[in-house]
Each structure stands twice: as C-alpha cells, then as structure tokens.
Structure 1
Amino acid sequence: MRAFVKTVVLGCLAAVFFTEVMAQDVTLSSPDGAVAVEGNLLTYDGQFYRVDTIYGVLTVDGSGVICAGPGCPDLEAHVAQLLIGGDTTVGVSLLPALLEGFSAQEGLTATQIGEGISFQYLLSDTATNAQIARVQFDLSTSSAGFEALIDGQAELILSNREVTPNENERAQAEGVGDLDDPRRSRVLALDALVPIVAEDNHQEEISVADLRRIHAGAVDNWDDVGGGDLPLSLHVLAPEQREGLQFASVRADDVEVHANSRDLVARVARDPLALGLGRLSQVAGGRILRLTGSCGFSFAPDQSAVKSEDYPFVAPYYVYTPGYRLPRFARDFLKYLDSEDAQQVVSEAGFGDQRLTEIPLSRQGDRFANAIAQAGDEIELEELQRMVGYLTGARRLSLTFRFRRGSTDLDAQSRANARVLAQYMDAGRFDGVELAFVGFSDGEGPADGNRRIALRRANAVQNGVLDLLETTDRSRLDLGVEAFGEALPMACDDSDLGRQINRRVELWVRPLQR
C-alpha cells in the first residue's frame, strides 16, 4: 500500500489543454485492490493520470494502477498532445525546424498541417506509421503566450522577453509554478537589436546616446548624428515586439511602426533617409551600423559578442514550461533543445546558439587597449599587469554572467548560461583544465571596493553553478576565482546600460600546470 501511495503526487494544478479526453469518472486501483482513487480524469499523458478527486488534483503513475470507468483512455491508441503559444518570430521560423530535427533523430515523420501562426504537426513512427504525437501551434505575442500558460491553455510558450513579476505571481497562484525557476525556463536562441540603414545611406556608425535621442524624439535630421543635412525617418517594431527590450519606449512623433523585423528591414532598405532598429536574425537587405560609445568603445554584433552579451542590445528568445509533468515526448523534445544537433539548427536558422566557444587572448587586443586608455587614477599599471599576467595562456569562454538591472540576481540569459555550464561540467568538458570565474565591475565608487564586489559576484556565480551539477565528481574540477574590478571595462560608464555591461563574471580556461 505504501508503495502505491508513493506514486500519488498531491498538487493544486490548473487544468491544461493536454488531451481531448473529456473529464469523466474513473477509478484507479492498486493491483491488489487495497487502495482506490475515484474522480474525474483531467489528463493522461501516456504515463501519468491527473485526476480531480475529493482530495484535490492527484497525479498518479499509470504503471502502478488499473484504470476502470468510462473515462479511462485507450492505452494502445494514446497520442501525446502539446500546445505551443507565444512569440511568432521563433514560433514560425525556428521551432518547426527544431521539431523536425528532433523527429528525424527519434525515427519519426513530422507532417505539417496548415501554415501561418496557427498550424499543427503530426508526428508518426516512420516504420509503423503509428501516430505518436500531435503538436498544435497557436502563436501571437509573448504576453498572450504567458496568459495561455497561466490559464492552462498552453504547455510550452515562446517569449521574446522574461516573465514579469506580475505574470510570475499569477502563475504561482494558479498552480503553474515559479516561472523564474531555471527548470521552468531556458534560452532557446539568441538575437540582437541592431541599427539598420539602406545600402546607399553613407552613415557608418551611430552612438548609443544618439539612438536614445532619436527614439526620444530629440533628433529628426541626420546632421545631428554625424550625417548630412537631411531629414531622418525612424522605423520601429510594434510594441509587442519591443516588450522588455532596450528602446521599448518610443516618444518620437513621426514614426513608422512594423509588425515584424523583416517588414521593417525591407522598408528601411528602400529609403536612404530611414533608420530602423531591427533584429539581427532578420536583417537581409539592410546594412548594420556599428555602435559606438562616448568614451571610444565600439560594438559589432558578431557571434561571439552576442553570445557573451558584450554587444549592448542582446535579445534572447525564451521557452517557458509549467511546473507540472509534461508527456514523455515533450520532455524528450526539451532535452533535445540542449543538444549539439539542436544548436546547429538554431545557428543555421540565423540565430545565435548556446554552444560553448573559446576566444583566445590574442583576440582581446581591443579590450586591453581600451582598458589602458580608460584606466582611471585608481587603476595603476601594476593592477593591469597583474590582470594580463593572470589571463596570459588562458582562453575566454563565450558564456558570461551578467545581472538584472539594479540587482545582484543573474539576468535570464545568465541563469540559462549557468545551466548550460553545469551540463558541460557534468559531461566532463572541463576535466583536466582550470576553469576560472573572473569578476569585473563598473567604475563607480572606489577601485578597491569594486574589486571586492566583483570577487563576491564571481564566488556567487561559481557556487550557483556548482549547485546545478547532477553527476559531476567535484574532486575532478580545478576551479579558480579572481577579480579585477573596473580594470577591464566593456562599455562607457556614463549610462545605466554601460555600467550594466561592465558588471559581469567571465569564464576563462587554461591547461593545468603540472
């Protein structure tokens, strides 16, 4: 009896669009008949029953019970179902490719029915033609996706922003779970907001400060940002595409709004007086301006800069799932998203992937040159020499950890980076090398204090990653923690954005010294 009771997990879970089985009476009994649970069947995922009983909603392992009653599903003909909602950009252009890649790996045939933003995929066994799963896409916006997840109308949603505190509070109140939990969210792909002009526009670069002035309505002529005396027309994404991102607020009067980045780029490409802020994954036909800062820094949205969040306007796409158990098919698909094969699909689709890459010290020349040029009175040559000496012979990794604005908590991409790093460590990727967590800060306040703050953050990130390990024998790891405070800025300290970029923990790896 106790063994059976252990298969029952109590929880206050919201009803979900998970199966077409209508709520009907069922009785789930232990094989010896000693224990029975009666109620209305809410869902069956091929492995677990969810039943609304007088005790609340119970989740019961189907392998330990016998089902009787008109509501019992046909176990032989069961088809797993998954409803996906949220953002259209990756929902249309990326997730179908990932689903097809997963199907091929699993020996399944994926057939798309319909198109646009509402369509289905039927997955069937390639050998037997038996239907295995049905995946329904009902895409719209990130906000609508969170509403669907909270209301039990979706099991997986795609978002171009993090969950808001209000949305997360509602999710917990409705039994969906803590969506800030790393187990509930992951970064699906990386993108970036980039300034775009037509090919025959002669502008080569633009400062972050000037972009802000343009979006605030303070600039309407190219002459004010280093160009000719010509009118400047601003093009922006629709509000739902700017949620939670830089330049979410636009106060300029004469603005042309576009439903998606492809439409924006196509329009800007035809107008030499136009400027748009679009997504890096959808810039075909336009030309990207280099970003500059008032203190001499410049930024190009190359792959390594986007992965490491060194580029100022990185815009990740996220996947969120509820706190209750998804069908095995869906769980296997989520595991596939972390694989090298899936990350290759992400890259081929034009997005930034999560694969770990190394950046040799020889490619850090511009950063070190800026460190010397921007060193304040408190950063002495001895400290710069100490930093160069420590990093010599090491290679920087693309995973970088940054923090929420005005907080010591990691931002969403960095929490995803922690999970990715833990998976690499579990796989033995860092056996036989030294992995160093190196902290940096902005330049506000005394240099000694900034170095101490950066060191605390580096230790906190290391401890947070270690807490995520599942199989690693920690005695195999050779970890280091160091900090250089404000000695290696990535951006100007004259804005909140610049200071946020500078507050970071980098990963460096070097061969062990025997």
Structure 2
Amino acid sequence: MTWLRAAVFAALFLFCAVRMAVAQDVTLTSHDGKVEISGTLLGFDGEFYRIETQFGELTVDGSGVLCDGPGCPSLTSYVAEIRLSGSSTMADVLMPALIEGFALRNGYNTERQETGGSGFEYRLVDAGSKVSVARFIFHIATTDEGFADLLADEADIVMALREIRPAERQRARDLGLGDMTGINRSRVLALDAMVPVVAQGNPVRAVSVTDLMRAFSGEISNWQELGGPDAPISLHLPDVGSGLAQAVEDRLLAPAKATLSQNVTRHRRSSNLSRAVSADPFALGIASFSEARPARMLTLTGECGFSLSASRRTIKTEDYPLTSPMFLYLPARRLPKIGREFLSYSRGPAAQAVIRRAGFVDQAAERIPVNRQGDRLANAIAAAGPETGLDEIQRLMTVLAPLERLTTSFRFEPGSSRPDAQSRFNIDQLARALEAGAHDAGEFLFVGFSDGDGPAAGNRKIALKRAESVRDAVLSAAETAGLDRVKIGVEAFGEALPMACDDSEWGRQVNRRVEIWVR
C-alpha cells in the first residue's frame, strides 16, 4: 500500500505541476535576475505586461523585464488591439470618422475590413514603413451589450447612448474595473438628442412632451388627438437594450409613472427607424437627432405656449430637454499607447471639427451674442408677473447685454444639486480651457437660473447657490490656471429667463441651469 500511495502522490504532483505550467504561461525576470514573476498573461499594450499571479493582477513595465514562456508576445511584430462594443449610432459613422481623422493627423493609412455579421475593424498602417500598428475592432450592438462585453473582458471601450446604470456600475467595481463614473473612466464624446419624427407628409408639426408620453404609453392611439388625421398611430423605437430606447423609458415615461405600449415596432439601427417612419404617413418614432433624416422632426411644446426645437445649438446648450450625450466608458486598466493617443485626440479641437462634419453635435464652446436671444427674451417678457416684473428683466439686460453666452451650460440631476453627466464633463472642459489661457484678460460670469416653482426671492437664492457651486467646481478643477488673469463673477436671475413651461418636470428641469457669459 505504501508504494501505491507514493504512486498516487507522484501522479497528483505531476498533474498539479502540469496544470501550473499551463496556467503560468509567462515568467517575467528583471535584467539583473533578482526579481521573477510568473503568471497568466492577460494583456500586453506594447509597453506594459498585465498578468494574473498568485498575488493578484499585476501590471509590469516591459522595459525592465525579460519575458519567457509560451504566452510571451512578439515585441518586433506587435500590433495594438483596441476592442469597441456598443451603440450602432456611434459605430456606424462617428467612431470611423474619428479614427480616420486620427490616422490622417498622425501619418497612418487606414484599411477597413468587414468581419461579418455585426462587426468590422480598422487597421492602421504606418504610411512610411507600411507596417500595421493597430487594429480597432468593432462589435456593433446595443448599449446593453456593450456593457456586457466590457464586464466579460471582451471589450476595451463601451460606446453608450446612456449613463451606466447602478447595477452595471457595481458589477464593474466588483470585477476590479474601478468606478466607471470617474473622470478617467467615462467621457462625453459628442452630443445627441431624442427627437420625435414623422413622415414629411404628416400635417402635425409639434407635439407636447406630455402628449408624446401619452402616445408611447398607448393612452393616445389616434392622430386626431394630436391635431392630425383620423388614423391610428404607428409607434417606432430602436431595439430593446439600445441606449436611446432605454432613455425614452427612463426620461419620458418613468417620470409620469407610465409604461411603454406593447404595440411598438423595433429597429436594430436608428437610421433604419427614420427610413421606416418616412415611408409611413401615420408613423411616430423617436430617433437620434444625428439620424433623423429622411423623417421630419417635431417641435416640442408646452401648455404655456413655449416651444423648443432640436438644433445643434439647443442640444449643445442642453436647452433642448431630451438631450442624449454619447459616452465612452473605459475600464481601470491601461489601453495600448496608440489607444490612449486616440482618446486624447478625441477631446481636441481637430476631433470637434470631425464630429461636426460627421453630422453630430460637438462640444467646442461657441459664443451666442445677446441679440440672438430673441425667443428667450420674448419668453421672459411673456412670463413676467407680480413676483418677477419687468424691472428684473431690465436688470438682466443691463448685466448681460455687454456679454456673450457660451454654449457651455450646466444642469443638474433630478432632485439633486449634483451636475448631470454632460455638465460634469463641461466642468472639466471649462477648467482645461482656463488652464490653457483661452479666457485670459476676459470677464467670466456664472449666471444661475431656476424654475418658477415657489417664491421668486427664494428661487433666486437657490440659483445663486448653484452658480457658486459650479464656479467652485470649475476653479477647483483648474489647478494650474492663472486665475488672476480672468475676472470671474457670479450672478443669478432666478425664474426671470425661462426656457420651458413650469407645468411639467421636464420643463422645470430645463429651467434649472447655470449659464456662462463672457466678454
């Protein structure tokens, strides 16, 4: 029996040794031989190894070690791979346009290759040496699938038309991917909006947000109730799981405690939705602003008579209530160097020009002179009353007339003083502009506005506090800015300049804002 036990132990030892040899497929050794780390290679970005060891996941600088084992990558023929998954709206046009712009700027040629089904890839080739340097691999899916791919380590970047949800955020944290809402884990790439669309021949030109909600919940089913012909309404939305469709339910239906009608035609891509709506005179859809054509967009109205249309400027300022930022989400691990360079490029002025040319709304700050504020000033005069009289409107004009409004605005999460996702990005963007000296020798005024719910004096105090909090956040983020070269002030006018009606939550949300006025 002794020999049998010994044979069994020997076999188990050999089995475990073989398993360890298979699992620990690389060994990293320092040049002096004093440090040695073995483990499973998880990734290599051309500079750093990422390996799973008995001590956990480690990232090791490749310049300081020698790699040995079957898993070691080739250092001479290394091609960076960046895997992207998520929104088809972003994958179809926007991301390819940015990759081509990045390649042109950095001396690379691009080669696009379809990979079948729901994917394609861009290969970047050095124009001089003709050597491949990177592959951008796309999985065209939905925002839901993009986050699922990231959590399964099958994607490096998520393309999303909505913010990450709490359950996804917690799951990412549990998997060691970090806080996905952090400034280095998420960013707004461009801006979009949810827009109601109809066929060109449909006589209806505008719809209230309330009636839009009632239509998509099934409460309204005939065009007569919206001022159209006696015909049933055919509803169209993007696929279940797409960020745009989820935003419709979260932001249009949920505030009214309404549920989506079962009689909705779904579309895999927003561009297909717009074409289907344009071909059906009785269709009503909600599409991406960037892909609304060939259908026609409806203007949003309120009971008080104010109206808001989606345009590049109203989306950029978030004055249009159904804005939908386009996000990139990144895990808490290093991307290959060329991937980091691409992300840096995507925030710069050259990329903003590419975003505009591709038909999307960029984030480059623009100035709007006071003489272009006609509709807003007309709304202010129409809304003037006993509490907010013409004397307050005159004070507003005295303060703002010498200045110009920046398209960079700040709004807040519902029921909170925390800036919303786009505004958090705007804080960082504005801080970087101050650090770069873009507003040196100028005047910078943070101006707070409120909704009309409650006493006017109290609303003005609330608006002033919001303006001060945004100012403080920007100045805190602008660590290297020469603030002595900029005149910075704070002002508030409360409910004196409404953007929308106060009879709905979406209208009050639009009116609660902080604007930037400059000279």
TM-score, with normalisation over the residues of structure 1?
0.90
How far 1:320 sits from its partner (Å)? 0.6
How far 1:393 sits from its partner (Å)? 0.8
Structure-1 residue corresponding to 2:166: 165
Note if 1:63 corresponds to 2:63. Answer: yes
Note if 1:400 corresponds to 2:412. Answer: no
Describe the SS at the equivalent of 1:177: coil
CA contact (8 A) 2:145 2:241 kept: no
- Partner deviation per Cα, 1:302-352 (whole Å, 9 max, x = no partner): 111010110111122111111111111110000110122211221122111
Aligned partners of 2:482, 2:25: CA distance in 1, in Å?
49
How far 1:261 sits from its partner (Å)? 2.4
CA contact (8 A) 1:215 1:247 kept: no
Structure-1 residue corresponding to 2:487: 478
Alignment of 1:115-514 (within 5 A): 117-241=118-242, 242-245=245-248, 246-247=251-252, 251-252=260-261, 254-469=263-478, 471-510=480-519
- Structure 1 368/162 Cα, relative in aligned 2: closer, same or farther at 3 Å? same
- Partner deviation per Cα, 1:12-43 (whole Å, 9 max, x = no partner): xxxxxxxxx996121231x4444443433322
- Structure 1 134/251 Cα, relative in aligned 2: closer, same or farther at 3 Å? closer
How far 1:191 sits from its partner (Å)? 1.5
**Rg comparison, structure with higher value:** 2
CA contact (8 A) 2:86 2:160 kept: yes
Aligned partners of 1:129, 1:426: CA distance in 2, in Å?
39
How far 1:479 sits from its partner (Å)? 1.4
Greater alpha carbon shift after TM alignment, 201-210 vs 487-496: 201-210
Which letter maps to 2:56? G
Aligned partners of 1:381, 1:434: CA distance in 2, in Å?
26
Equivalenced residue count is 489
Identity %: 46
- Structure 1 470/69 Cα, relative in aligned 2: closer, same or farther at 3 Å? farther
Which letter maps to 1:129? K
- Partner deviation per Cα, 1:157-183 (whole Å, 9 max, x = no partner): 100100011111111111101111121
Describe the SS at the equivalent of 1:422: helix
CA contact (8 A) 2:25 2:38 kept: no
Aligned partners of 2:397, 2:24: CA distance in 1, in Å?
66
- Partner deviation per Cα, 1:52-87 (whole Å, 9 max, x = no partner): 233222212223334444443322222111111111
- Structure 1 250/93 Cα, relative in aligned 2: closer, same or farther at 3 Å? farther
Aligned partners of 2:87, 2:329: CA distance in 1, in Å?
12
- Structure 1 475/271 Cα, relative in aligned 2: closer, same or farther at 3 Å? same
- Structure 1 316/108 Cα, relative in aligned 2: closer, same or farther at 3 Å? same
Aligned partners of 1:272, 1:50: CA distance in 2, in Å?
56
> Which ranges in structure 1 are unaligned for 5 or more consecutive residues?
1-20
Which letter maps to 2:511? N
> Which ranges in structure 2 are unaligned for 5 or more consecutive residues?
1-21
Which structure has greater helix proportion?
2
- Structure 1 360/52 Cα, relative in aligned 2: closer, same or farther at 3 Å? same
Aligned partners of 1:257, 1:69: CA distance in 2, in Å?
50
Aligned partners of 2:297, 2:40: CA distance in 1, in Å?
57
Structure-1 residue corresponding to 2:26: 25
Aligned partners of 1:238, 1:452: CA distance in 2, in Å?
44
Which letter maps to 1:231? P
Greater alpha carbon shift after TM alignment, 81-90 vs 111-120: 111-120
- Partner deviation per Cα, 1:418-441 (whole Å, 9 max, x = no partner): 222122222221111111111111
CA contact (8 A) 1:22 1:42 kept: no
Describe the SS at the equivalent of 2:373: helix
Post-superposition, which runs of at least 4 consecutive aligned residues in structure 1 deviate over 6 A? none
RMSD across aligned C-alpha pairs, in angstroms? Answer: 2.0
Which letter maps to 2:209? V
CA contact (8 A) 1:22 1:41 kept: no
Structure-1 residue corresponding to 2:11: none
Which letter maps to 1:503? R
TM-score, with normalisation over the residues of structure 2?
0.89
Aligned partners of 1:244, 1:255: CA distance in 2, in Å?
16
Describe the SS at the equivalent of 1:57: strand
- Structure 1 292/23 Cα, relative in aligned 2: closer, same or farther at 3 Å? farther
CA contact (8 A) 2:211 2:226 kept: yes
CA contact (8 A) 1:26 1:70 kept: no
Describe the SS at the equivalent of 1:190: strand
Aligned partners of 1:109, 1:139: CA distance in 2, in Å?
23
Describe the SS at the equivalent of 1:428: coil
- Structure 1 267/27 Cα, relative in aligned 2: closer, same or farther at 3 Å? closer
- Structure 1 40/253 Cα, relative in aligned 2: closer, same or farther at 3 Å? closer
Describe the SS at the equivalent of 2:192: coil
Structure-2 residue corresponding to 1:11: none
Describe the SS at the equivalent of 1:345: helix
- Structure 1 480/103 Cα, relative in aligned 2: closer, same or farther at 3 Å? same
How far 1:252 sits from its partner (Å)? 3.4
Structure-1 residue corresponding to 2:13: none
